[in-house]
């Protein structure tokens, strides 16, 4: 993932279970050629049926998928933390792991936010506390 023109090419979003509507609103407003990667953590049950990427993809023009451990992120894509897994960012890589719950949740937004800040610093835009 190379740095975009604006210098802000890593977007991290943390949402509570009630944050689906705001997430869809955000994604609806983004262009298909967005020069950034989007990473989303939403508090979902470990037994979730797994439709969140499909729901988010239908909301806008960007493809959405479950984050895969050790994969390389691309611009114009949405990566979603899988149920019961934390999503972290390493330089040029996505990290998905079990790890301990944080604030009673896995996935939790805090690990994503910390890792994005540590590894991408001023390139990061973060949005948290999304609720209905």
- Whole-number pLDDT of residue 72: 97
Task: Evaluate whether 99 touches 91 at the Cβ level (below 8 Å).
Answer: no
Neighbours of 55 (CB within 10 A): 14
pTM over 0.85: yes
Task: Evaluate whether 93 touches 70 at the Cβ level (below 8 Å).
Answer: yes
Q: What is the pLDDT of residues 45-58, one digit of tens each?
A: 787 778 999 999 99
Tell me how far apart the alpha carbons of residues 91 and 95 are, in angstroms, rounded to a whole number.
10
Name residues whose C-beta falls within 8 Å of residue 91's C-beta, 6 or more positions apart in sequence.
119
- Whole-number pLDDT of residue 78: 98
Domains and CATH numbers, the chain: 10-130 (3.40.50.180)
* Phi and psi angles of residue 14, each rounded to the nearest 5 degrees, phi first: -115, 130
């Amino acid at each position: 993932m190379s740095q975009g023109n604006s210098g802000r090419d890593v977007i991290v979003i943390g949402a509570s279970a009630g944050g689906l509507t705001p997430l869809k609103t955000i994604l609806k407003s983004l262009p298909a050629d967005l020069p950034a990667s989007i990473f989303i953590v939403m508090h979902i049950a470990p037994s979730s049926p797994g439709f969140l990427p499909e729901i988010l993809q239908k909301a806008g023009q960007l493809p959405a998928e479950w984050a895969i451990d050790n994969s390389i992120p691309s611009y114009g894509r949405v990566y979603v933390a899988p149920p019961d897994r934390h999503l972290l960012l390493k330089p040029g890589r996505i990290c998905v792991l079990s790890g301990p719950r944080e604030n009673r949740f896995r996935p939790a937004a805090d690990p994503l936010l910390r890792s994005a800040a540590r590894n991408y610093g001023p390139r990061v835009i973060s949005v948290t506390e999304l609720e209905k």
